[in-house]
A and B are shown apart, each in its own frame.
Chain A
Amino acid sequence: MDIRNLTALELGKKIKTGEIGVVEATKAALEQIQAVDETVNAFVTVDEAGALRRAEEVQKQIDEGSLTGALAGVPAAIKDNLCTKDLLTTCSSKILYNFKPTYTAEAVRNLERAGAVLLGKTNMDEFAMGSTTETSAFGVTRNPWNTAHVPGGSSGGSCAAVAANECFYALGSDTGGSIRQPSSFCGVTGIKPTYGTVSRYGLIAYGSSLDQIGPVAKDVSDCAAVLEAISSYDRKDSTSLKREDCDFTSALVDDVQGMRIGIPRDYLGEGLDEEVKAAVLAAAKALAAKGAVVEEFDLSLVEYAIPAYYVIAAAEASSNLARFDGVKYGYRTEEYEGLHNMYKKSRSEGFGEEVKRRIMLGSFVLSSGYYDAYYLKALRTKALIKQAFDEAFEKYDVILGPAAPTTAPKLGESLSDPLKMYLGDIYTISVNLAGLPGMTVPCGKDSKGLPIGLQMIGDCFQEKKMIRAGYSFECTRKYEAPELAERRGK
């Protein structure tokens, strides 16, 4: 048995029985990071000393019986837009290159309460803006399945780290598909829960009304367990919801008998790669074979999701990112004359291209004279999209489709044409606009050997149906790790 190949829950069980020690598991993950991260670059910061110290503490608490959860002692990685007290938190941006938060994000604290050992912080698109993890100021992350390809984004570091066995699970954030799309590209499982399920306190905001934190792991069971651990009502987040139904692991049942599953015809049309389409339809067939009622239907307004999303997310981002000004923390330009010049130079030098593009776009759509035409119209579109989903969920328990139109593109292929890159978010974005839960489960590989992800979408608060469908599908196949994850030593 190689520790690194275990799922989070499998490891948790072995730690509980004493078969594997927490320090041993942590060392195994750190060794794997040593072995492969020079190639993958999934991490911005690896906190080796902190992780080992914490591992000993956790082991002690497990031995004493004060930590008994299923994830106690399991090493994890955290996306670098989640604040971790005294540990570098950069959002993969030069403007926060030296930023150490004074507090820890609520979702991370929840993980710590569950006994997690934090290995470090994972790479991402700068401020979560991008679909490839190429806009990071700290270098691109490579896809563990083929290092000439991107891992997707923006949670590319978290997904690549899980796929490459560098951690047993990770946290990501999803504003327009940033967990689901890289999960698809990296052949791992990821969940974006219903808006308000996980506290956003300590998540460095991109698009506040769309951002949600979620788990990335090797399988649905791990994701359900991690989501259960991080979900909580938090008084510090006004958009946090009081939910009594966060026992997501109770939905890990291999049974879709009679479950109504809808596939939007709009998700199978133009722009969708044939191999991806075939894999998704095969997955649908597998579910139908287990007794689910699968049919295609028309989900309207799909084409409006992308423009509405880029208006709303950019508008919120333009305001959310205003605080990075060189005054209080982070990067400040070396030479400047007066306040205005300091702002201008610090921000021009500190932010990357894509971030600046979205700040400008957001500032434009909020400016007087354009607010009604763009921002308000986008909000109305958002409401209509939610309505379209409401109608669909009157008929279906779960909506099924691809997570992305293609498998992972090659490095450097996407950034030159941002509009084309934005179109890649077409299947994931409307889920954020409607506040719904969404999940990606691996469902095959294309002819290049790159993973394909199946997306499941649930109605608000119906994660359990989605998890049940995902788990049932997962039971029809076996988890596959990339060759790189099996590489040992240098």
Chain B
Amino acid sequence: MSKQYETVIGLEVHVELATKTKIFCSCSTAFGGAPNTHTCPVCTGMPGSLPVLNKQVVEYALAVGLAANCQIHQYCKFDRKNYFYPDNPQNYQISQLYLPICHDGGIEIETAEGKKTVRIHEIHMEEDAGKLIHDEWEDCSLVDYNRSGVPLIEIVSEPDMRSAEEVIAYLEKLRMMIQYLGASDCKLQEGSMRADVNLSVREVGTEAFGTRTEMKNLNSFRAITHAIEGEKNRQIDLLESGEQVVQETRRWDDTKGASYAMRSKEDAQDYRYFPDPDLTPVVISDEWIQEIRDRQPEMREEKQERYQKEYGIPAYDAGILTSAKRMADMFEETTALCKSPKKVSNWLMVETMRLLKEHGMDAEDIRFSPENLAKLIGLTEAGTINNTVAKEVFEFVFDKDIDPEQYVEEKGLKMVGDEGALRGTIEEIVAANPQSVADYKGGKQKAIGFLVGQTMKAMKGKADPGVVNKILKEILDK
């Protein structure tokens, strides 16, 4: 490759909002109901039905817009995007084209290259479509409208990113911000956050943008990174071999590690956007904006600082604890119950993170309650169980949110610290391991560790290690 190329990337991010009901009707947004059970005449496009805007959608969109430093269109409207597809019961999607609720914002990201601002072109509100299910067996397609009308915001960035690293930093920042606002859980795998990547390449130093493509079906940060690398290389190869990049939409297949053209610009539909006459304009007063501003929760940076000051948590740890809203919530709620911030932090940063990783889960997937973690910490502090047992019990807390007090009681895991009960076992261990005893007496202090281990094993981990040490020394030093 003789020339130097630069990648130019802009993102369109769809986020499913965490409202209880849909954007234009009062049906539930709950995920996973039996097909077509969360539906009504409005979200199934029945003749004569009319949309009524869910106020909470506007509030979430405003909250995200304000957090992303956007300007607000205080007079905004909904438009119809007309296209035929069976997952869209009215054959138009209610969206915003002419006057989106938020515009001209930006957020700061940080990568190895340093800090930079990614500008946000606009944020608009719209409705999600239903889901098509293709039944190969019956050779027909079925449609489930449970998702039809679930509220979305689409966050459109300017083409300000230059690498996959920047894209991931932007998405992580966005995700964290939205999670902190409580506006969405932002799960890529479940589709509550979806990113389309617009990418073009140009020779370093040129002003004009190259022809861009749009990449869809990116379900993880990993897929996004791969798709960006793949598409960048594909475009450069085309240009290097004297061909041209075609403006088109491409679908990324992460298992094959390649993308396929879905439709080109020539097939681009004319969506015949026009203001939806069934909805009145949304008028957003200064007071309403102020109300939303006043209600904005504590964001990550503020939390990080407070954890250090209030709880004496080191900066690095505070960074990890606040890396997901759920984690920070767990930390604060558990600490409020057991008053041992450092221990809570330790349980979350070590055991919780380990188990999340092992299970391939996100912090958002944490199922256990602060109450049970607090109880577990209480048990260790009271000396009821030792650390080894605590770790074992925690796995059950993590998995099934069991009550550790009850569990320890039922399984008889209480630490044995009674000297009389331990002495017999220790004497047996000492008798059975003359070599270790000789080693110890010969000056190898470490040999006592082996004997402690054997005792713990014999006691099924329930012995109080302090007491075991004390008795062992008594016997050996005799």
Answer yes or no: B311 CB below 8 A from chain A CBs: no
Looking at the assembled complex, report how far the CB atom of B471 sits from the nearest CB atom of chain A, in whole angstroms. 76
Docked pose: A327 CA to B277 CA in angstroms: 24
Residues of A within 8 A of B53 (CB): 238
Within 8 A of A (CB), among B270-293: 270, 272-274, 277-280
Residue from A201, A328, A371 within 8 A of B48 (CB atoms): A201
Stretch at the interface among A94-102, A247-255, A268-276, A470-478: A94-102
Answer yes or no: A479 CB below 8 A from chain B CBs: no
Interface flags, A170-211, vs B, CB<8A=1, else 0: 000000000000000000000000000000111111011100
Residues of B within 8 A of A82 (CB): 48
Looking at the assembled complex, report how far the CB atom of A172 sits from the nearest CB atom of chain B, in whole angstroms. 15
Stretch at the interface among B87-95, B334-342, B432-440: B87-95
Q: A208-B278, A238-B53, A366-B82 are in contact. Are A323 and B45 (CB under 8 A)?
A: yes
Looking at the assembled complex, report how far the CB atom of B435 sits from the nearest CB atom of chain A, in whole angstroms. 80
Residue from A201, A325, A363, A367 within 8 A of B50 (CB atoms): A201
Docked pose: A315 CA to B272 CA in angstroms: 9
Q: Determine whether the beta carbon of A366 is less than 8 Å from that of B47.
A: no
* Residue in chain A with minimal CB distance to B53: A238
Q: Determine whether the beta carbon of A323 is less than 8 Å from that of B91.
A: yes
Looking at the assembled complex, report how far the CB atom of A382 sits from the nearest CB atom of chain B, in whole angstroms. 11
Residues of B within 8 A of A81 (CB): 48
Residues of B within 8 A of A343 (CB): 84
Q: Determine whether the beta carbon of A102 is less than 8 Å from that of B91.
A: no
Q: How many residues of A contact B (CB 8 A)?
A: 44
Interface flags, A331-374, vs B, CB<8A=1, else 0: 00000000100010000000000000000000100111001000
Answer yes or no: B44 CB below 8 A from chain A CBs: yes
Q: A102-B46, A201-B50, A238-B50 are in contact. Are A322 and B277 (CB under 8 A)?
A: no
Answer yes or no: B297 CB below 8 A from chain A CBs: no
Answer yes or no: A377 CB below 8 A from chain B CBs: no
Docked pose: A374 CA to B279 CA in angstroms: 21
Answer yes or no: B159 CB below 8 A from chain A CBs: no
* Residue in chain B with minimal CB distance to A210: B277
Docked pose: A101 CA to B47 CA in angstroms: 8
Looking at the assembled complex, report how far the CB atom of B327 sits from the nearest CB atom of chain A, in whole angstroms. 40
Interface size on B, as a range, is: 20 to 34
Docked pose: A322 CA to B94 CA in angstroms: 13
Looking at the assembled complex, report how far the CB atom of A103 sits from the nearest CB atom of chain B, in whole angstroms. 5
Answer yes or no: B51 CB below 8 A from chain A CBs: yes
Main secondary structure of the interface of A (DSSP, over half): loop
Answer yes or no: B41 CB below 8 A from chain A CBs: yes
Answer yes or no: A239 CB below 8 A from chain B CBs: yes
Docked pose: A325 CA to B143 CA in angstroms: 14
Q: A319-B80, A319-B82 are in contact. Are A89 and B47 (CB under 8 A)?
A: yes
Q: Determine whether the beta carbon of A101 is less than 8 Å from that of B48.
A: yes
Q: Determine whether the beta carbon of A327 is less than 8 Å from that of B86.
A: yes
Docked pose: A371 CA to B277 CA in angstroms: 16
Q: A238-B278, A316-B277, A367-B272 are in contact. Are A325 and B84 (CB under 8 A)?
A: yes
Interface flags, B25-54, vs A, CB<8A=1, else 0: 000000000000000010011111111110
Looking at the assembled complex, report how far the CB atom of B18 sits from the nearest CB atom of chain A, in whole angstroms. 23
Q: A202-B48, A323-B91 are in contact. Are A363 and B278 (CB under 8 A)?
A: no
Residues of A within 8 A of B278 (CB): 205, 208, 238-239
* Residue in chain B with minimal CB distance to A344: B84
Looking at the assembled complex, report how far the CB atom of A342 sits from the nearest CB atom of chain B, in whole angstroms. 10
Q: Determine whether the beta carbon of A200 is less than 8 Å from that of B274.
A: no
Answer yes or no: A318 CB below 8 A from chain B CBs: yes
Q: A239-B278, A316-B277, A328-B89 are in contact. Are A323 and B82 (CB under 8 A)?
A: no
Q: Determine whether the beta carbon of A322 is less than 8 Å from that of B51.
A: no
Looking at the assembled complex, report how far the CB atom of A346 sits from the nearest CB atom of chain B, in whole angstroms. 11
Answer yes or no: A460 CB below 8 A from chain B CBs: no
Interface flags, B256-279, vs A, CB<8A=1, else 0: 000000000000001011100111
Looking at the assembled complex, report how far the CB atom of B134 sits from the nearest CB atom of chain A, in whole angstroms. 11
Docked pose: A104 CA to B134 CA in angstroms: 33
* Residue in chain B with minimal CB distance to A368: B270
Q: Determine whether the beta carbon of A339 is less than 8 Å from that of B272.
A: no
Within 8 A of B (CB), among A233-280: 235-239
Interface-centre pick from B45, B47, B89 (highest chain A CB count, 10 A): B47
Residues of B within 8 A of A44 (CB): none
Q: Determine whether the beta carbon of B50 is less than 8 Å from that of A328.
A: no
* Residue in chain B with minimal CB distance to A239: B280
Docked pose: A363 CA to B277 CA in angstroms: 16
Q: Determine whether the beta carbon of A204 is less than 8 Å from that of B280.
A: no
Docked pose: A239 CA to B275 CA in angstroms: 14
Docked pose: A363 CA to B279 CA in angstroms: 20
Q: A201-B49, A238-B53, A238-B278 are in contact. Are A103 and B41 (CB under 8 A)?
A: yes
Q: Determine whether the beta carbon of A318 is less than 8 Å from that of B48.
A: no
Q: Determine whether the beta carbon of A363 is less than 8 Å from that of B272.
A: yes
Docked pose: A236 CA to B53 CA in angstroms: 10
Docked pose: A239 CA to B274 CA in angstroms: 17
Residue from B50, B277, B280 within 8 A of A236 (CB atoms): B50
Q: Determine whether the beta carbon of A238 is less than 8 Å from that of B279.
A: yes
Residues of B within 8 A of A201 (CB): 48-50
Q: Determine whether the beta carbon of B52 is less than 8 Å from that of A366.
A: no
Looking at the assembled complex, report how far the CB atom of A197 sits from the nearest CB atom of chain B, in whole angstroms. 15
* Residue in chain B with minimal CB distance to A315: B274
Q: A315-B274, A322-B91 are in contact. Are A238 and B52 (CB under 8 A)?
A: yes
Q: Determine whether the beta carbon of A237 is less than 8 Å from that of B50.
A: yes
Residue from B45, B277, B279 within 8 A of A328 (CB atoms): B45
Docked pose: A179 CA to B274 CA in angstroms: 27
Docked pose: A91 CA to B50 CA in angstroms: 17
Chain A to chain B: the 5 pairs with minimum beta-carbon distance, closest first: A322-B91, A366-B272, A209-B277, A208-B277, A202-B48
Question: Taking beta carbons and an 8 Å cutoff, which residues of A are in contact with B?
Answer: 81-83, 89, 91, 96, 99, 101-103, 105, 200-205, 207-209, 235-239, 315-316, 318-319, 322-325, 327-329, 339, 343, 363, 366-368, 371, 375
7 contacts between A and B (CB under 8 A): A91-B47, A101-B47, A102-B41, A238-B280, A318-B272, A371-B274, A375-B274
